[in-house]
Amino acid sequence: GAAGHDMEFNALVNEAMGSDSQFMAELVVRECGEVFTGVTSLVDVGGGNGTMATAIAKAFPHVRCSVLDLPHVIQGVSAHESVEFAAGDMMEYVPPADAVLLKCVLHNWSDEDCVKILTKCREAIAQGAKAGAGKVVIIDAVVGSPTHSQQVLEAQVLMDMQMMMLFMSKEREELNWQKIFMEAGFSHYKIQPILGMRSIIELYP
């Protein structure tokens, strides 16, 4: 895509995702650690420079963490002892694991593409986890969840507009998410709000 051609833009996007990621990683590990209970291997899809995967590996040393991202994204990433990096395209293949993490990835994609990505994730946990034990963990905006104040709703509208201008995407309500999950072949999910409009969604085959 365009990010590959424009190294400067690429660095900016990586940095923005990274700083947000550091804060988000600490928050997720602290507030929602139980999500990783029983997980022995995790692939962070679109995990960029590995901020999130590193935080998880540090907090849960028993979890084998790896990052899957496009070659130009992980090209300049310095190696971590606790995290493996794999170059690849999530539309084509996601490496097998107990759990697949998608942090703020899906809102950049159309519903149709989300179904494709999640189908690859479902295949990955079918191969990587003990029968029926795998899950996909999504960290993304769920619009209109009951905890939201007026300020948060205003921020949502703003974020919707920003994302639409940047990626022609939109933040989704729970019903939109549900439709995507079912189309990708998942049977059930649970949503836990973490911060503002960000929620953790656990998705089961």
Distance of CA 95 to the CA centre of its chain: 15
Q: Catalytic: 188?
A: no
3-state percent helix, strand, coil for the chain, nearest multiple of 5? 45, 25, 30
Q: What is the pTM of this model?
A: 0.81
Give the range of the structural domain holding residue 61, as residue numbers without chain letter. 2-204
Q: Could you tell me the CATH number of the domain that includes residue 38?
A: 3.40.50.150
**Predicted local confidence at residue 137, as pLDDT:** 97
**Count of domains in the chain?**
1
**10-residue averages of pLDDT along the chain (205 residues):** 56 55 80 89 95 93 95 85 93 96 92 97 91 88 64 57 55 92 96 82 95
Q: Alpha-carbon distance 150 to 204, whole Å?
A: 32
Measure the CA angle with vertex 195, ends 40 and 24; round to 5°.
Answer: 50
Q: Which of 80, 107, 148, 188 is catalytic?
A: 107
Terminal CA-CA length for the chain: 31
**Predicted local confidence at residue 198, as pLDDT:** 80
